[in-house]
Structure 1
Amino acid sequence: MEYTAEVAIGLRRDVRTSLSYALSKLTKPLETPKILKYVVVKPSIYDPKLVGNTNPNVVKAVICSFKFLGTIYVVESDNPLRKASNAFTDCGYDNLAEERVKLVNLSEEQTKRIEMPGHYFRDHPIPMLLQNGYVLINVPTVKLEPEKITIGAGIKNLFGLLPEVNKRKYHERIDDVLIDLLTIFRPHLTIVDLSKIVIGHREDGITREAGALLVGKDPVAVDAICADFFGIDPMNIPHLKMAYDLHLGEALVDRIRVIGTEEQKAKLFELCRL
């Protein structure tokens, strides 16, 4: 079988070692812009009161691994449940801030209207920080949505790059919105935080310890493997099928090389099956 994408499992004694191990197993180096200004890190912080937010220790490991590239901006936007600045504080992200690490609320940043692919947006105001010359590292968690037989992972996390507070108006056409965002804000690297797996609805507060990371440069492939771990065919997830059809990434699991031991793969399959 010829592989067209790869995803590495990091499952070691601590988060930083897990990330270093997974990064070392990727066969191709990280591609960066010719003129690199800074690094943007996008965690997933939906609501600090609920489970399923990106562990700040995972973001800390990302910062330690990539701060050699330049200043790092950890970004999130407001939503109807909380302000991003409060979410950073409540989730323990304030401890990450230092001279070359900034916590940024995208909803408070200056924007510029840019042309979009047109699946949903023809154009849209986007924070100036996200215009050009940066490396985007996406650090999502995985949320299973049982009623819809789908998951929210890396691509869904790009939704938080939209600066407006009320994003619910986009939910009816969320797949079209996500494809626009993936096209414009394609992450250079996706690092999925599987330190804890949410079981059922966030509101139930039930998690399962996994202690793992999934790392890959193809955001579609990373999400496809996440779906596969949960027993869902990626091609049955609309935005993954659309991304595959548009040649934005690999969604066929048998074409994705999963780098890890059979024991690690079996453990994740077991922990992700509800």
Structure 2
Amino acid sequence: MQRSGKEVSATLSSKGYVLRKQLLPDEYFTPLARPMNPSPPAPTIVFITGAVVTAACWDNWKSFFEAAGYTCYAPDWPHKAAPAAVLRGQHPHSPIARNSLADVLKVYTDFIAQLPAPPIVIGHSFGGLIVQLLLQQGTVAAGVAIESAPPLGVVVPSRTLVRAVLPMLGLFSSLQTTFLPTFAQWQYAIANGLPRADQRAYYEKLAAPESKRTIRGALSWQARVNFRRPHAPLLFLAGGTDRIMPAALNRANYRRYRHPASIIEYHELPGRSHAMLGQPTWREDAELVLRWLLGLPG
């Protein structure tokens, strides 16, 4: 597949649909035979959580990258440091309701500001949008946006997206109360394709109330990205069966970036729902990210 301006490669394989601006050697995509350890000192990774979940969604990924030699952090969103079950007990009158997109972004900008060097940022869903906003600030070394919520103005027609996102916006409800997905909503929008027992376990571990202000912030100027500005290397991962942030939306997001000298790459992974971080294939996906990071220049 060719795209005007710069060389682009597109392949469809067992690894999924891949778009990338820089052509890399074949061994870049071969399965790992052993753990890959970056030369010390390894960069820091900051994991950025999405909406309606806690930072516990990163437990496996954090352990994986720590074993690879990285220093890893997964800061909590405001008022979301408690276990998910405790947070659900505070719904609907949780202090989480006061959070805005700006409040959530500030958690990460402040955290990054106190680090000794620009980190790698890896975000999922709404956290992917935060990754894009941080890259725009020029304060990070590289970014990975997994099943990312889109910046302002990136839209595609999708019935599944509308069905999944509309309840979270709470358009006809008070902003003073939180949104908490029901188990049925969780099954449809996030954990589709998983066995019911796994869907339930994932819900009990992670599902948390969310601020409707924060979700609506993605539709405001706060979520604006200048796609023509230079930026740190950026990798998009999309799930082939994701209903809430479908692959077509992630692909449209990727294609909006226009700076010819900036590295950007897109991978579409078949069989991944919005629960990609916790599916049985999570390690394979984490290894893909690790290979990409280790293959970056410099």
TM-score by length of 1: 0.41
Which protein shows a greater Rg? 2
Higher strand share: 1
